[in-house]
Amino acid sequence: MAAGVVFLVGFLQIEVMNKNIFSIICFCMILITGCAQSASRKVVNEQVPEAKEDLIVIGFSQVGAESDWRKENSESMRSTFTRDKGYELIFEDAQQKQQNQITAIRTFIQREVDYIVLAPVTEDGWDTVLGEAKDAGIPVIIVDRMVNVDDDSLFTCWVGSDFKLESRKACAWLKSYLERQHMDPGDVNIVDIQGTIGSSAQIGRTTGLRDAVIENGWRLLDAVPGEYTQAKGREAAARMLEKYDNINVVYCENDNEAFGAIEALEAAGKKAGGNIRGGEVLVMSFDGVSRQALENLRNGSISCIGECNPLHGPRVKKIIENLEAGQTPDKYEYVEEDVFSGYERITEVTVDGTSYPVKIMGK
């Protein structure tokens, strides 16, 4: 074809010798060639369309990674909301700072995510930013700790633990144990290593203990925040052991604080255990998610753990599936939880007339 073109051009140059006609012919040939190339490119583009994933986008603002419970909770969310299951999870670690969570939620709104999941640091201070999410038409699911807002329509629903009930069950266990040890209530001297002040877990577990102290005539010597960490729990316990020489019960508001308290007891020359009359200090805790916590139950260094289940990923997924199907989920969904102990003689506890089983962790 190229040779034919050359021949034609040469022929016209020799025979016609008309520069105007020659220019017109060349222009037409260039135009035809360009159009052919353009058409070819168009066909190629149509044959390879861009692939798009139809994913449900979730923005999750997590408190942080301060404890074993929190790490398990984060992993539950990550393993549930994966691309192969039809989700894109945008995970933001707030490092225990509420302002970081507020910033994260506003970023989620700007990115127009489909759902916002919030594990709040504290209960208060959410009205404004959750109002912004509502105005943007983005459902907000609260997990673990609650939020205290003037208008509960600012969030779609909440799923988590009844922290006060956790405490009441643990304190019912303590009452039964002390009775079996023939302890006079006035000789029970308790210190409380609290969680992050203002969080739902701290409020519920602190309130439950204080109610039990009043009801049973125990003595609450002190309450110091441990912020749910082993290091802070150790510091809090060490301070109180220096201040009081008659402590016989350490009530820790999570397992990591209990690990720190046990270290502080050992450093002070004391032993964590249930033989209060023999000079041991009884340690109580909450969560029960780590291998170390269960091992401490078996060896007696922790006497009782109120379970707090961290596996919220599947629960949140079910809520989202219901919302996608046009259904309305329950506003509040409480997780069922147990009491763990290595003490074999207490197999159940009773709170407000309801019996709850105690799971015995064998040695």
Indicate whether 193 and 117 sit together in one domain: no
- Checking if the pLDDT of 37 tops 60, the result is no
Q: Of all helices (H) and strands (E), which one includes residue 12?
A: helix 2-15
- What's the angle, vertex CA 254, arms to CA 251 and CA 256, rounded to 5? 110
- Is 321 domain-assigned? yes
| Cα 321 → chain centroid | 19
Mode of pairing for the β-strands spanning 282-287 and 249-252 = parallel
- Is 21 domain-assigned? no
Mode of pairing for the β-strands spanning 348-351 and 332-334 = unpaired
Q: Which CATH number is 188's domain given?
A: 3.40.50.2300
Indicate whether 234 and 219 sit together in one domain: yes
- Is 127 domain-assigned? yes
Q: What are the Cα distances from residue 112, in Å, to 85, 103, 107, 277, 327?
A: 20, 14, 9, 61, 22
C-alpha 75/C-alpha 78 separation (Å) is 5
- Checking if the pLDDT of 227 tops 80, the result is yes
- Is 60 domain-assigned? yes
End-to-end CA distance of the chain: 91
- Is 11 domain-assigned? no
Mean pLDDT across the chain: 89
- Is 15 domain-assigned? no
Domains of the chain: total: 2
Indicate whether 173 and 304 sit together in one domain: yes
- Checking if the pLDDT of 339 tops 60, the result is yes
Indicate whether 304 and 314 sit together in one domain: no
pLDDT at 363: 61
Indicate whether 152 and 261 sit together in one domain: no
Q: 6-15, 84-93, 107-116: lowest mean pLDDT where?
A: 6-15
| Residue among 213, 255, 215, 212 nearest 233 (CA) | 255
Indicate whether 133 and 175 sit together in one domain: no
Q: Which residue segment(s) compose the domain that 84 sits in?
A: 56-160+310-334
- Is 103 domain-assigned? yes
User: DSSP 3-state assignment of 221?
Assistant: strand
Beta-carbon count within 10 A of 100 CB: 17
Tens of pLDDT along 280-326?
A: 999 999 999 999 999 999 999 999 999 999 999 999 999 999 999 99
Tens of pLDDT along 152-180?
A: 999 999 999 999 999 999 999 999 999 99
| Residue among 301, 300, 329, 297 nearest 315 (CA) | 329
pLDDT at 15: 40
Indicate whether 224 and 356 sit together in one domain: yes
Indicate whether 343 and 325 sit together in one domain: no
By the 10 Å C-beta count (0-12 exposed, 13-18 middle, 19+ buried), 311 is classed as: middle
Indicate whether 153 and 174 sit together in one domain: no
- Checking if the pLDDT of 136 tops 90, the result is yes
Q: Are 189 and 249 in contact (CB under 8 A)?
A: yes
C-alpha 164/C-alpha 152 separation (Å) is 21
**For the residues 79-101, what does the mean pLDDT come to?**
97
